[in-house]
Amino acid sequence: MASALEKIWLYLINNFTDFQLASIGSFIIHESVFFLSGLPFIVMERLGYQRQYKIQGKVNSVAAQEKCVMKLLLYHICVNLPLMIVSYPVFKYMGFTSQLPLPSWNIVCFQILSYFILEDFIFYWGHRLLHTKWLYKNVHSVHHEYATPFGLTSEYAHPAEILFLGFATIFGPAITGPHLLTLWIWMSLRVIETVEAHCGYDFPWSLSRYLPIYGGADFHDYHHRLLYTKSGNYSSTFTYMDWIFGTDKGYRKLKALKAADHEYEYVEEKVPKTD
């Protein structure tokens, strides 16, 4: 596999410049991963597929879904792509490279884990700030137009927010100057994570069921359902920041109540009824 990957990589660096790969290449990777991972949730919602795992009963209209897709294409071309282009000199200055040899998987995994931790910390405070009255009304309310989120709504936001919270995503790579392969893997995993968090489905195989500190769809769906001043659950990937600062109390209380109701129903079923 390493040999095949190196051959593909050799083709890329022989036919494209660092700038083309880091800007246009990253944009293509982002769009491919984003839409391929997000569009299935639109189809699922329209067809009612896997409805038993849908967190909310409400279904978005076709018009609302189409509006989201069209605006996303506009934002991505007019905001994301220029941001990737102007960020290139910073990455290059910090040691970014696309040349062979490819980095070891130990380095790739360590850097990506570090990026997730850094991103989550910065995102938490930035997101919490966006829920102050003025910023919510003038910026963040765009993202919350969808109280019933689906995968693609993860990047549906005001252009100012895209730049503001986008800083959290690029901060780690910007200060470390990683190999392009690491950057592409990080970007892909981050996109898949945020799409999953907004998908609106709590599947039995969701990572949040096996990794307690991972937020996931149920954690973030709660954030979209509540009023901006009371929502909490501000973290992007993990849950420990909300737990430390007490901004997940409402969510944890709701989960406890649901668990208690479920236990009561279970016990009631087991107790034989008498005439």
- Residue-wise pLDDT for 26-69, tens only, equals 999 999 999 999 999 999 999 999 999 999 999 999 999 999 99
Q: Compute CA distances 103 → 19, 106, 182, 189, whole Å.
A: 19, 8, 8, 17
- Flag whether 113 is in a domain: yes
- Flag whether 17 is in a domain: yes
- At residue 201, φ and ψ (nearest 5 deg) are -125, 135
* pLDDT band, very low/low/confident/very high, at 262 (cuts 50, 70, 90): low
- Flag whether 176 is in a domain: yes
Give the pLDDT confidence of 170-196 residue by residue, as tens digits: 999 999 999 999 999 999 999 999 999
1: pLDDT strictly greater than 80: no
Domain count, the chain: 1
Give the pLDDT confidence score for residue 260 in this predicted structure: 73
Give the pLDDT confidence score for residue 229 in this predicted structure: 64
Average pLDDT over residues 221-237: 85
- Flag whether 168 is in a domain: yes
Give the pLDDT confidence score for residue 268 in this predicted structure: 45
DSSP state of 204: T
Give the pLDDT confidence score for residue 266 in this predicted structure: 39
Domain of residue 149, residue span: 2-202
Number of Cβ within 10 Å of residue 93's Cβ equals: 10
- Flag whether 219 is in a domain: no
Q: Compute CA distances 55 → 65, 66, 118, 183, whole Å.
A: 18, 21, 29, 32
198: pLDDT strictly greater than 70: yes
- Flag whether 244 is in a domain: no
- Flag whether 131 is in a domain: yes
Q: Compute CA distances 98 → 7, 76, 81, 104, 186, whole Å.
A: 13, 24, 19, 14, 15
272: pLDDT strictly greater than 80: no
- Flag whether 246 is in a domain: no
Please give the single-letter amino acid code of residue 91. Answer: F
